[in-house]
Chains A and B, each alone.
Chain A
Amino acid sequence: MIERSTRRQFLDRSCRLLGFVTIGGTAGLLARRAGANSVYQVDPNKCTSCDLCRTSCVLSLSAVKAVNDFAKCGYCMLCPAYMDVTSMPDERGIPTGRVCPQDALKRRVVGVEDKDDPNNNYYEYAIDEARCDGCGKCVKACLPPAGNGSLRLEIRYDRCVECNECAIQLACPDRAIIRLDLPGVAPESHHLGLSQ
């Protein structure tokens, strides 16, 4: 004679099964994520330099830094990301204000400097990462049509602490923080800066 289970027994077994599946699935996902060679990174096509990278990161000085793509940079004398072009000009007509509030964007003359006429010089712009807080003001100012769009924000792997849930990703209104696969790179090397 077949013993039929009661409704209470059926619900009890179903709930147990669902619980096991949930716990197992979560454990599997976490294990897979822990072993994956992926990192958080900023998608420059989505990023709007909204300043939340500076304020949302769990680090006191954000792991997000501005970087300059030298291949796209125009090496301008009047770089709109370096100079506040709307500020008061000096006696030579060069704006005196700076865009970066941290003075993290540095420049140096490429080649021999013409001190008489700075318009004859090209300048290389680089980020002082010890100062940069990832506010993105320079990135915004460099966007076309004002600039060439050579500056962008980037999460520096040697600074990122790889939170389980990236605080910037949670805060980002543009969903610009993505997981980026790094094939062939061991996860430990991210923290050593070896992946760059």
Chain B
Amino acid sequence: MEPTNPYETPQLSLRERFFKSWFPPAAVVGGVVTLVAAALRVRPEPRAQVAVPAAPGGAPAPPPGAEVPLERTYTLVATIGGQALSAFRESLLDVAVDSSDQVLALGDGHVRVFTAGGEPVRQWRAGDGAECLTVGPDGRVYVGGAGRVDVFESGGRPAGGFAFGDSAKPPSVSAIAVHEPDILVADATARIIRRFDAAGRQRNLIGDQGKTKTFMLPNGRLDVDVDAAGVVRATDTGRHQVTSWALDGTPIARFGKFGMQDPADFVGCCNPINVAATPDGKVVTSEKMVARVKVFEPDGRLLAVIGTEHFDPMCTQIHLAVDSKGRILAADPVRRRIQVFTPGAPGRPREVPS
């Protein structure tokens, strides 16, 4: 038998050479490339922006994944309160704007008046238990509290007022709005809006329609505002809707729904928490849980979002007012400051969730 030479290279077939010499390093290289690619996670190209034209009577629903342009942006231009000398030391409960764009705020038990630029003008003591305020077209200031409304001249001199409800258990007045000669009072205890005349006589209720005959208010807050045309906007927080009413209580429209994805929806248990109307007929809302302010068309189409970076995340309310130039004043009661946002350039697109 011929002895085998241990140093002689054995003759291998092509298949054997592939699996014994080429395949192992190729498999290792392939595995490394796969791991690197998985680590880098090569992202797909961003979707193209799709503009959805507005249709009269309501915009068509955008397809999932489409990007819808926000038509407005708002820029922070001023802050009243906060660290400034005019800081609200203990509380900031409401904000309003008069016809000359002076800013009125209810805080520390006082009504404080500022210029449009934020300079303090005057202040006077509000009544005990004051919770909200508004300004009439004639400059008179209306302060709502536990079951009563106090009226002040623009300089702060008392000019009357009226009480309503059970004096032993006065209702909570969470908001007040004026469309002369009517005074609209948000009665959060009865979950209804009461329309009074200047003498304090109740003329009718707003919001007593539907199956429940009241607004749904799990959080015990009801906000109301009225525009120059007499359209009343109110928050229906439990239904996650903004409602519109005529002054005589006739329902006009409502929009909004719960949702955690689409910024046009309202988050959490009970939102929107506050509402205001702009001079050009838009609707401004604020939310808690995700503290932000949004601007809508009256039909519910989202126009702009003022983001959470401006507000304390613990805000349970962001009080709103809009001046004659369309500037939004948002009062953050946690940081005790009023931020002024002015409309700016066209906004960036937003993506509708899939």
Contact = CB atoms under 8 A, between A and B. Distances in A.
Interface of A: 74-80, 85-86, 89, 93-95, 114, 117, 119-120, 122, 144-148
Contact of B260 (A75, A77, A86): A86
B239 A119 contact: yes
A144 B316 contact: yes
Given A144-B316, A146-B268, A146-B289, A74 B258 contact: no
B238 A147 contact: no
Nearest to B241: A119
Give 8 closest A-B pairs by Cβ, nearest first. Answer: A74-B218, A76-B218, A145-B288, A76-B269, A119-B239, A145-B316, A146-B289, A78-B269
Interface of B: 210-212, 216-220, 238-240, 257-260, 267-270, 288-289, 291, 313-316
B293 to A, nearest CB: 15
Given A74-B269, A76-B270, A79-B269, A85 B216 contact: no
A145 B259 contact: no
A148 B268 contact: no
Given A74-B270, A79-B269, A120-B210, 7 more contacts: A74-B269, A76-B270, A86-B260, A119-B216, A122-B218, A145-B314, A146-B289
Nearest to B219: A74
Contacts of B269: 74, 76, 78-80, 85, 146-147
A133 to B, nearest CB: 24
Nearest to B259: A93
A75 B316 CA distance: 17
B341 to A, nearest CB: 21
Contacts of B316: 144-145
Contact of A120 (B216, B217, B220): B216
B314 A144 contact: yes
Contacts of B270: 74, 76, 78
A2 to B, nearest CB: 72
